[in-house]
């Protein structure tokens, strides 16, 4: 998680190290997939009958397919982390959070919220889970470890800008 100040905005985003780790794992997983498919192809050119080599070729190909699917999953997760951020400024909040598209995480559209739209701010920490909730318009935003770099820092920055105390009766104003 990184907190960056740019002009009059404070931006909370995932660290470049985490995003780089995802992309590094994409390269390793992709290379493993190609290697396993190459081994499967090499095994298929063996002089034995297909009945004798079917299981070995199939198992190497399934391994290659598994690493190929892991590569796609790691790429989408890294991309979602790279495109996720929350910018807190004097006029309001700009945010881009990941959304689930079936099983894949993809970056959603950028949303702009004015400070007067944001209400019912709360932060909960229990059993290792950290959740920041707030209402804007008719929608309740729930920021947690899966869709926000740091729900705790975002909640604290929101509370500072709105001038409320978290988890107090005034926070729901």
CB 153 within 8 A of CB 88: no
Average pLDDT over residues 7-27: 93
Is the pLDDT confidence value at 80 over 50? yes
Reading the block at residue 111, the tokens are: 């949303």
E strands present in the chain = 2-6, 9-13, 85-88, 92-96, 98-101, 104-107, 111-114, 118-126, 129-136, 139-143
CB 28 within 8 A of CB 4: no
Reading the block at residue 7, the tokens are: 């002009």
Tens digit of each residue's pLDDT (9 = 90 or more) over 32-56: 999 999 999 999 998 888 888 899 9
Average pLDDT over residues 11-22: 92
Nearest 5°: CA angle at 148, between 134 and 72? 140
Is the pLDDT confidence value at 169 over 70? no
**Residue that wins the pLDDT comparison between 14 and 173:** 14
How many other C-beta atoms can be found within 10 angstroms of the C-beta atom of residue 15?
12
Is the pLDDT confidence value at 172 over 90? no
Is the pLDDT confidence value at 82 over 80? yes
25: phi then psi, degrees, rounded to nearest 5: -65, -30
For residue 29, the surrounding DSSP H or E stretch is helix 16-44
Cα 164 versus chain centre, distance:
29
pLDDT for the residue 35? 98
Average pLDDT over residues 62-76: 96
Average pLDDT over residues 63-88: 93
CB 143 within 8 A of CB 154: yes
Tens digit of each residue's pLDDT (9 = 90 or more) over 149-165: 889 999 999 999 888 88
**172 DSSP assignment:** G
Tens digit of each residue's pLDDT (9 = 90 or more) over 108-122: 678 899 999 999 999
State the average pLDDT for the chain: 87
């Amino acid at each position: 998680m990184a907190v960056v100040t740019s002009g009059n905005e404070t931006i909370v985003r995932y660290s470049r190290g985490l995003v780089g780790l995802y992309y590094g794992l994409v390269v390793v997983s992709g290379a493993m997939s190609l290697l396993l498919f190459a081994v499967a192809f090499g095994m298929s050119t063996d002089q034995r009958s297909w009945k004798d080599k079917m299981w070995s070729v199939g198992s190497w190909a399934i391994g290659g397919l598994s690493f190929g699917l892991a590569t796609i999953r790691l790429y989408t997760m890294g991309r979602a982390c790279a495109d996720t951020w929350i910018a807190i400024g004097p006029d309001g909040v700009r945010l881009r959070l990941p959304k689930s598209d079936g099983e894949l995480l993809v970056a959603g559209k950028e949303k702009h919220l004015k400070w007067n739209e944001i209400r019912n701010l709360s932060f909960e920490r229990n059993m290792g889970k950290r959740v920041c909730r707030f209402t804007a318009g008719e929608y309740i935003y729930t920021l947690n470890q899966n869709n926000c770099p740091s729900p705790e820092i975002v909640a604290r920055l929101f509370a500072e800008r709105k001038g409320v105390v978290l988890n107090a009766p005034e926070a729901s104003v």
